Amino acid sequence: MLDVSTIDQFYGGSHTLRGVSLSVRQGECLALLGRNGVGKTTLLKCVMGVLPVARGEVRFGGADVTRLPPHQRAARGMAYVPQGRDIFARLTVEENLLMGMSARPASQARRIKEEVFELFPVLKSMLGRRGGDLSGGQQQQLAIARALVAEPRLIILDEPTEGIQPSIIKDIARVIHMLRQRGDMAILLCEQYFEFARELADRFVVLSRGEVVARGDRAAIDGEDVRRHLSV
Ligand SMILES: Nc1ncnc2c1ncn2[C@@H]1O[C@H](COP(=O)(O)OP(=O)(O)O)[C@@H](O)[C@H]1O
Ligand SMILES: [Mg+2]
């Protein structure tokens, strides 16, 4: 579904991503791991087109999307849940969800499907509440729901557990697990919370200083080389 090959990216003179490659298949969850500041968010922004790449290629569903702006990638089925959530604080929960649907072609119905409330029941009771009045965990659920209403084929999640209480982390894990089980979506999950990623990932990639330093499948995620790159 997603193929990222040999991406380089710079912030001014600093070389932030160095020849990074990864791929995510349909029905699979790939965990992107690494300490603070190694380039995870930068990579996800390049994948979504929020940042341009200096070199390399991003392919989605077999097509080259490297030069497409984010909204065109969204229209093709890529969805992005940014780090820190970035929900619209002054819009209601319902309006936030409707914004998420704006990526869909105008020909398709823009009604919020009941399914999203099955995944996140709390949102149903809060439809009229302003996003900014929700707790951090509820905002994270709203941000994920906003991505899902677009019915994406790829969802990119940037540290969804950051600053969130344990009970809501469990709810979010359940949703990601369910999406994975459903098998029609590719999931790119960036995490610093190792146990959370280990529970959900089919494969993993570890970044260090902008480079991939380890990768493997689920069974290898507990390896010493992985832990070494994650411990602080
Ligand atoms: N907008 C920016 N301008 C300049 N440097 C940045 C910018 N955003 C991030 N950086 C730097 O790029 C590196 C990678 O950051 P980031 O991708 O946010 O890492 P991570 O998500 O892994 O914590 C860090 O050294 C960070 O300070
Ligand atoms: Mg980050």
Q: Are 184 and 153 in contact (CB under 8 A)?
A: yes
pLDDT of residue 106: 72
Beta carbon of 121 within 6 Å of any ligand 1 atom: no
pLDDT digits (tens, 9 = 90+) for 139-184: 999 999 999 999 999 999 999 999 999 999 999 999 999 999 999 9
pLDDT of residue 220: 85
pLDDT of residue 56: 98
Beta carbon of 42 within 6 Å of any ligand 1 atom: yes
Eight-class DSSP state of 58: E
Q: What percent of the chain has pLDDT over 70?
A: 99
pLDDT digits (tens, 9 = 90+) for 199-229: 999 999 999 999 999 999 988 888 888 888 8
Determine the average pLDDT of the residues in 117-128: 95
Ligand positioned closest to the Cα atom of 82: 2
Ligand positioned closest to the Cα atom of 10: 1
Q: Are 7 and 58 in contact (CB under 8 A)?
A: yes
Helix (H) or strand (E) holding 7: strand 2-11
Q: Are 196 and 157 in contact (CB under 8 A)?
A: no
Radius of gyration of the chain, Cα coordinates, nearest whole angstrom: 17
The pLDDT confidence band at residue 42, using thresholds 50, 70 and 90, is very high
pLDDT digits (tens, 9 = 90+) for 93-106: 999 999 999 877 77
Residue closest by Cα to atom 26 of ligand 1: 37
Residue closest by Cα to atom 25 of ligand 1: 37
The chain-wide mean pLDDT, for the chain, equals 94
State yes or no: pLDDT of 116 exceeds 70: yes
Strand pairing class (2-11; 55-60): antiparallel
State yes or no: pLDDT of 91 exceeds 90: yes
pLDDT digits (tens, 9 = 90+) for 20-33: 999 999 999 999 99
pLDDT of residue 7: 98
Identify any residues that bridge with 206 across adjacent strands, giving them in sequence order: 33, 214
Beta carbon of 41 within 6 Å of any ligand 1 atom: yes
Q: In whole angstroms, what is the distance from residue 173 CA to residue 183 CA?
A: 16
pLDDT of residue 232: 54
State yes or no: pLDDT of 110 exceeds 80: no
How far is ligand 2, taken at its centre, from the CA of residue 125, in Å? 31
Q: In whole angstroms, what is the distance from residue 48 CA to residue 80 CA?
A: 7
